[in-house]
Amino acid sequence: MMILKMAWRNIWRNKRRSIITISSIFCAVFFAVFARSFQIGVYDKMVSNMVGMYTGYLQIQQEGFWQEQSIDNSFVPDQSVRDLLDNHNNIDEYNTRLESFALTASENLTKGAIVMGVNFEKEDLLMDLSPKIRAGEFPNEISSSLLISEGLADYYELNIGDSLILLGQGFHGASANGIFPIQGIVKLPMPNLNDRLVFMPILAAQELFAAPERITSMVLQIDEPSKLNKIKTDLGGKLNRDTYDLLDWKQLLPELVQTIQADSAGGIIILGILYMIVTFGILGTLLMMTAERMYEFGILVSIGMRKGKLILTVVLESLMMGVLGVIFGVIGITPVRYYFYLNPIRLQAKAADSIEAFGFEPVIPASLDPQIAINHAAIVLLIVLLCTLYPIAVILKLKPIKAMRS
């Protein structure tokens, strides 16, 4: 207890210096968590957009479909697979899709598009489509009507009741052509999807592509994204891997993963520079403290204090300053993160256009993931501990008489 008391009081022997040190730790935690929260927030948004809008967290596909995305690699799912998914505790629902590409045409215009045969009721649960409907409604499951993305509708200047021509290739080379009425227009948040997505009832899609009962993927809705790896491992062990591939969103969206990794590396370099500055600040304090207290260290060892205890006192002092800075930093940044979580920054004009050009929503939300603050608090405390290596080395080499003469 007295060692703790000594350490605490030692901090306040030079108030100004300690306050500056604690402030620098506060700033490091504050800005590191601030920057990282936005970075992770943006990544989460990108992932949730892409996963929620398109891929889902897990997909079951015919083995080889991912390498060669042809409708010829579609499949008719076994009843055993359906039973496995129906009875799995962590899988709330699964959507079957028949997905292919087609050339769309109207009047004198044409454009390539993704054609997705879906069950609208289930897809609404996954993609939350209802609030995004801009005109019309979901087509009936047994109809041959389309729900097209707003960008596509704008491109062709189409409205509800107009028709769109689809030209493509069906199963095993069959011709896949048809003219379909538009029953709904949906605005998708991901610009690259919003420009070229056509939904149709899965039965109509199977008929169009001459692939009755066939699907290209089963999109799994899992109860908790954080359990993804566990669910994947569990399902992977039960599925026949010669017939089926089980892919998670990282495999389905490798470009997104690479984008995040590249961007994250840039952010980490900037944080590294910030931490380097803070390290020199803390080290400077400890250098001065050590130099000032050499005489005192000599006295303490002379009267019978083991160097181990002296080191403990110095480490405690440094850690107390570190912990104070970290606590203030976390307390300071939490309301800021919360504010930007509730009120994400919306990019405007050219900044928004450049983000949209990459296919992402021009929104920068802050992440509330507590792990961010925990990680940066741990990094700062580790830096503090590393900096204490200097006084530790000095104390270990200390000769009491020499120190008392200093």
Among 262, 265, 273, 303, binds other proteins (CB under 8 A): 303
Confirm or reject binding of residue 401 to other proteins (CB under 8 A): yes
Among 306, 357, 371, 382, binds other proteins (CB under 8 A): 306
Among 2, 142, 273, 349, binds other proteins (CB under 8 A): 2
Among 304, 335, 348, 350, binds other proteins (CB under 8 A): 304
Complex with other proteins: residue 2 or 273, whichever CB lies closer: 2
- Of the candidates 106, 65, 1, 28, the one whose C-alpha atom is nearest the C-alpha of residue 272 is 28
Least distance from other proteins to the Cβ atom of residue 286, Å: 17
Among 121, 154, 292, 296, binds other proteins (CB under 8 A): 296
Among 301, 387, 392, 395, binds other proteins (CB under 8 A): 301
Task: Kindly identify the residues of this chain, within the stretch 3-42, that bind other proteins according to CB under 8 A.
Answer: 5-6, 9-10, 13
Site stretch for other proteins (CB under 8 A), options 95-103, 306-314, 329-337, 382-390: 306-314
Complex with other proteins: residue 111 or 307, whichever CB lies closer: 307
Complex with other proteins: residue 172 or 397, whichever CB lies closer: 397
Site string for other proteins, 45-64 (x = CB under 8 A): --------------------
As a whole number of angstroms, the distance between CA 9 and CA 88 comes to 59
Among 125, 283, 294, 299, binds other proteins (CB under 8 A): 299
Residues 121, 125, 130: CA angle, nearest 5 degrees: 75
- Of the candidates 138, 211, 131, the one whose C-alpha atom is nearest the C-alpha of residue 169 is 211
Strands 197-201 and 217-222: unpaired
Complex with other proteins: residue 382 or 393, whichever CB lies closer: 393
Among 305, 336, 345, 385, binds other proteins (CB under 8 A): 305
Least distance from other proteins to the Cβ atom of residue 21, Å: 17
Provide the sign of the torsion angle of the four alpha carbons 207, 213, 217, 219, taken in this order: positive
Whole-angstrom CA distances from 199 to 12, 123, 217, 232, 375 are 68, 10, 15, 28, 43
Among 240, 243, 258, 302, binds other proteins (CB under 8 A): 302
Residue 317: partners with Cβ closer than 8 Å, 6 or more residues away? 7, 8, 10, 11, 289
Complex with other proteins: residue 16 or 350, whichever CB lies closer: 16
Complex with other proteins: residue 250 or 307, whichever CB lies closer: 307
Site stretch for other proteins (CB under 8 A), options 42-50, 119-127, 177-185, 293-301: 293-301
As a whole number of angstroms, the distance between CA 151 and CA 112 comes to 12
Among 88, 122, 250, 307, binds other proteins (CB under 8 A): 307
Least distance from other proteins to the Cβ atom of residue 394, Å: 15
CB 202 within 8 A of CB 241: no
Complex with other proteins: residue 123 or 317, whichever CB lies closer: 317
Among 52, 284, 332, 400, binds other proteins (CB under 8 A): 400
Site string for other proteins, 253-292 (x = CB under 8 A): ----------------------------------------
Question: Quick one: tokens of 101?
Answer: 């590409």
Site stretch for other proteins (CB under 8 A), options 81-89, 122-130, 190-198, 305-313: 305-313
Least distance from other proteins to the Cβ atom of residue 299, Å: 4
Least distance from other proteins to the Cβ atom of residue 13, Å: 6
Contacts with other proteins, residue ranges (CB under 8 A): 2, 5-6, 9-10, 13, 296, 299-307, 309, 400-401, 404
